[in-house]
Amino acid sequence: MRQPVPDLPPTLPAGVDDTESMLANGQYVSGRQLATVVFLALRLNRPLLVEGEAGVGKTELAKVLAGALNRDLIRLQCYEGLDLANAAYEWNYPRQMVAIRIAEAQGTSSGVGNTLYTEENLIERPLLAALRPRPSGPPVLLIDEIDRADEPFEAFLLEMLSDYQLSIPELGTIRAERPPIVVITSNRTREIHDALRRRCLYHWIDYPGSEAESRIVELKAPGVSADLRRQLIEFVHALRREDLFKPPGVAETIDWAHALTQLDVLALTPGVVNDTLGSLLKYQDDIAKLRGSEVARMLAEIQAAA
């Protein structure tokens, strides 16, 4: 079992309060529970697995961490069919072929095999790059949307997340001098294997409450008036209570706030909402379900409750 590193780099927060302040300085509204698990992930050198609906700020968390700690951000975007060559490393085959042709022309091809599999012929992908030392300190490695990758890829990750090392048959084992800060995100389109979960600290990021989302919009879209901000937050929260294929996330709330600012909207009306539903909802069935009378009803209920 990996032991915590006792000597913390000075750039890391000293406690949960400092972690919450650090995230807030990066314009990330975290809450106490998320700040706690982030602090523990930094203190214990453990990967952080963050799950939640799309658009709730999982990827943004890694970006803010990298910016706040002045570390490089290395992002591995997962997808179906992701393999070792695209995630960790591959050999520079054209360069190797050139070396072979030169050796053949010079009549020294018998010893060329020793020069093919060297660091110079190795092409680094995100996982291997995250193990390399950097002047600014260990990077933040974002493994984004792990649920989109195939299950065999999770098995490959186990070695790295356990010991922060990669085994390359031709070169041996490459270990990180200091572990990277690893953030793994999942939209939970499929279940992540227990073996991977056990190696991580875990946090579920839910849709924020009205007050927290209002603070987020105030930070990300400061041009929206307080009254309009209250109306759009109430409407978004009402949308999330509807039976939709894809309810709007925080990212959509921010996009809508920017759209309303560009249109110089001072208050929500059925016409304004109908015209801008594409900023909030990304599926035609959801838009068709709400456009018209449903939007008018929801706005009337919000105004009556105000």
Contact present, 249 and 56 (Cβ < 8 Å): yes
Place of tokens 């930094």: 42
Give the residue among 186, 88, 181 at the shortest CA–CA distance from 138: 181
Instruction: Give the model confidence (pLDDT) of 173-188 as tens digits.
Output: 999 999 999 999 999 9
How many C-beta atoms lie closer than 10 Å to residue 232's C-beta?
A: 25
Write the Ramachandran bin of 232: left for phi over 0, alpha for psi from -120 to 50, otherwise beta: alpha
Q: Which amino acid is at 121?
A: N
What is the distance between the alpha carbons of residues 146 and 55, in angstroms, rounded to a whole number?
15
Instruction: Give the model confidence (pLDDT) of 211-221 as tens digits.
Output: 999 999 999 99
Looking at residue 1, what is its pLDDT?
46
The residues with which 175 forms a beta bridge, in sequence order, are 165
Classified as helix, coil or strand, 170 is coil
pLDDT confidence band for 91 (50 / 70 / 90): confident
Phi, psi of 264 (to 5 degrees): 55, 40
Residue 3 structure tokens: 């032991």
pLDDT confidence band for 201 (50 / 70 / 90): very high
Contact present, 143 and 184 (Cβ < 8 Å): yes
Rounded to an integer, the average pLDDT of 125-135 is: 93
Looking at residue 114, what is its pLDDT?
65
Phi, psi of 164 (to 5 degrees): 50, 55
Give the residue among 26, 129, 109 at the shortest CA–CA distance from 69: 26
Looking at residue 38, what is its pLDDT?
97
- Assess whether pLDDT exceeds 50 at residue 224: yes
